Structure 1
Amino acid sequence: MITDDGCELWTSATGRGEPILCCHGGPGLWDMFGTLDPGPGFRLIRWDQRGAGRSEPRGPYTLERMVADVDAVREGHGLDRVPVLGHSWGAHLGLLYALAHPERVSALVYVSGVGLGYDWHAEFKRNFEQALGERHSRWAELRAKSRDEAEERELAVLQWTADFVADGAHHAEAMATPWFPINYEANAALSEEMRTVPEQELVEACRSLRVPTLIMDGTADNRPRWAVDSLEPALPSVTRVRLPGVGHVPWLEAPDAFRGALTDFLVRHLDMS
């Protein structure tokens, strides 16, 4: 599909039933929801954000433009109002979209997001190093050098391994297949812009958001869960589901528990008669 500024975005619809518009993590990565099974009665709308994966490698890489791209995907699939599911950075993008266009979002599913502030990075770094253990030295070696494509993929797989409690290498390999170049320009630009938005400003905006929201995360996520504490009480209609002993990508590590929580929330909050 083509956005209003002429950028070509890859998008896909799978399944039959109530649509769910997915926003993948990153920034600068691509859709990794291919193995997400929401159960019968749901249809996944997936897409690669601009500059990454199968979408056109071009900017601009701004929060405003990314929110507009979410709306373009919604409109491109002929949807009036739709549940939006975001993971990690995509959870933040989904929240920003709901704040900008609440009338177009029937429900928000905020998966493994990191809240509204940015003071969690130091603890995350410690958790990450501990999770990698002896593999951290190889990760640091790759991180510090110029890398070819094979080394770039090796670095990503090592890094993503730390996002899981069990079978991390297996799950990380699945995330890296198929493999696309990481867009570090998009990652840097969007990460920096996110840091410029004051936490209190987002808290105040969330107080008036009437969209039913599910915050779902694993208790063993190496991104500290207390970072979400400012978001949860700011939302007027919020459900919090914590998955015990699960890391950052719960639909891979605990697919049944993830699917159960997701479908229960959506059935309760959507008119699916």
Structure 2
Amino acid sequence: MATTQDLETRFTASGVRLRARTRRPGDVDWLFLPGGPGIGSESLHELVDALDVPGTCWLVDLPGDGSNTDAPGAPADPFSAWPHAVVEAARAVRRPVFLGHSTGGMYLLATPELEELLEGLVLISTAPTADWMPAFIAMTETNPLPAVTAATERYEADPSDANLREIAVESATWNFTPEGVEAGAELLGRMPYNGAAVAWSDAHFDHTYEAAWFPEELPTLIVSGGADRIVTQRLWDEPQYDGDHVLRRRIDGGAHFPWIERPDAMKKAFADFAVHLSTWTSG
């Protein structure tokens, strides 16, 4: 039986924080990197707790992200370690399977050094290039949320983390289905936020991102909500993202955080991938 508390905390040389949340029999280390950026790995609690995978599930926060703002060993400019510090996280455990949600997945795909270190890769609600952004902008223009506009104006006038939280909370209708919006707004309202991380990614990563690698043989799971309106999943339909080593799972009824609306379907997708991972490794 798994426990659901932080069982162990580790820091890498650059201040990446790894917190073990669940442990089950098995030696696989599942590393969970949140989206955002600027939102902590606490956003993945419900996902980790819904799963039944062998081994240890670690919540990962880069230095300067979320609540990881005073990490031992972090450089004076913690963002100087972004995003390549994910390599340190992979090297901090024995059998790493790295999961990235949204922008977290993009950070992983921007770091080709990971390919030789990982046992597997999981990409949730993410994209291979920044070409997802025009579709997102079009969606927001077609489905305007005046409360988001007002919250954004307040944040621009006073860029506090509290005001950043208000933008996130007011955007819940975009991030979740009507079925999940109440639970989603509650999730977004209790997250730690970090405006400095948002600013760094906007200036140095988000608009120019293009995957520097995609697994040629590494077991890979691409999973997304069928109702995701934040990051279009059509970009994965190109043949270079297909192969016997790749599983794709569409979670019908799920949105950008598909485990909120459909935790059982996410549990099944990860169970399928755990079997795929075991079979691929033993084969």
Give the TM-score of the pair, scaled to structure 1. Answer: 0.80
SS at match of 1:180: coil
1:109-142 alpha-carbon deviations (Å, 9 max, x no partner): 10000222x2332320232354554544544543
Q: How does 1:67-146 map to 2 (within 5 A)?
A: 67-68=84-85, 70-76=86-92, 79-97=93-111, 99-116=112-129, 118-131=130-143, 133=145, 135-146=147-158
Match of 1:158 among 167, 170, 173: 170
Deviation at 1:150, TM superposition (A): 4.7
Which residue in 2 is equivalent to 1:60?
78
SS at match of 1:105: coil
**Residue 185 in structure 1 maps to residue 202 in structure 2:** no
User: Structure 1 residues 154-163 or 137-146, which shifts more?
Assistant: 137-146
SS at match of 2:77: coil
Aligned pairs, number: 259
Q: Which runs of 5+ in 1 are unaligned?
A: none
Q: Which runs of 5+ in 2 are unaligned?
A: 1-9, 71-75
User: Which whole-Å CA distance do the structure 1 matches of 2:206 and 2:274 have between them?
Assistant: 31
Q: 1:161 touches 1:169 (CA, 8 Å); kept in 2?
A: no
User: Structure 1 residues 186-195 or 258-267, which shifts more?
Assistant: 186-195
Which residue in 1 is equivalent to 2:24?
16
User: Which whole-Å CA distance do the structure 2 matches of 1:131 and 1:196 have between them?
Assistant: 22
Which residue in 1 is equivalent to 2:235?
227
User: Which whole-Å CA distance do the structure 2 matches of 1:169 and 1:143 have between them?
Assistant: 23
The 1:59–1:263 alpha-carbon spacing in structure 2 relative to 1, beyond 3 Å, is farther
Which residue in 2 is equivalent to 1:258?
266
Q: 2:29 touches 2:94 (CA, 8 Å); kept in 1?
A: no
User: Which whole-Å CA distance do the structure 2 matches of 1:100 and 1:150 have between them?
Assistant: 36
SS at match of 1:162: helix
SS at match of 1:67: coil
Match of 1:3 among 2, 7, 12: 12
Which residue in 1 is equivalent to 2:6?
none
Which residue in 2 is equivalent to 1:44?
57
Deviation at 1:219, TM superposition (A): 2.0
In the alignment, residue 267 of structure 1 is paired with which amino acid?
Answer: V
Which residue in 2 is equivalent to 1:248?
256
Q: 1:129 touches 1:136 (CA, 8 Å); kept in 2?
A: no
1:30-73 alpha-carbon deviations (Å, 9 max, x no partner): 101111221153431112221023313553325x64333x3333
Deviation at 1:215, TM superposition (A): 0.7
Which residue in 2 is equivalent to 1:29?
39
Percent identity reads 26
Q: 2:127 touches 2:236 (CA, 8 Å); kept in 1?
A: yes
**Residue 269 in structure 1 maps to residue 277 in structure 2:** yes
Deviation at 1:188, TM superposition (A): 2.9
The 1:110–1:257 alpha-carbon spacing in structure 2 relative to 1, beyond 3 Å, is same
SS at match of 2:83: helix
User: Which whole-Å CA distance do the structure 1 matches of 2:185 and 2:270 have between them?
Assistant: 23
The 1:148–1:82 alpha-carbon spacing in structure 2 relative to 1, beyond 3 Å, is closer
Deviation at 1:105, TM superposition (A): 0.9
Deviation at 1:216, TM superposition (A): 0.6
User: Which whole-Å CA distance do the structure 2 matches of 1:155 and 1:111 have between them?
Assistant: 22
Deviation at 1:16, TM superposition (A): 1.7
Deviation at 1:10, TM superposition (A): 5.5
User: Which whole-Å CA distance do the structure 2 matches of 1:131 and 1:12 have between them?
Assistant: 39
SS at match of 1:170: helix
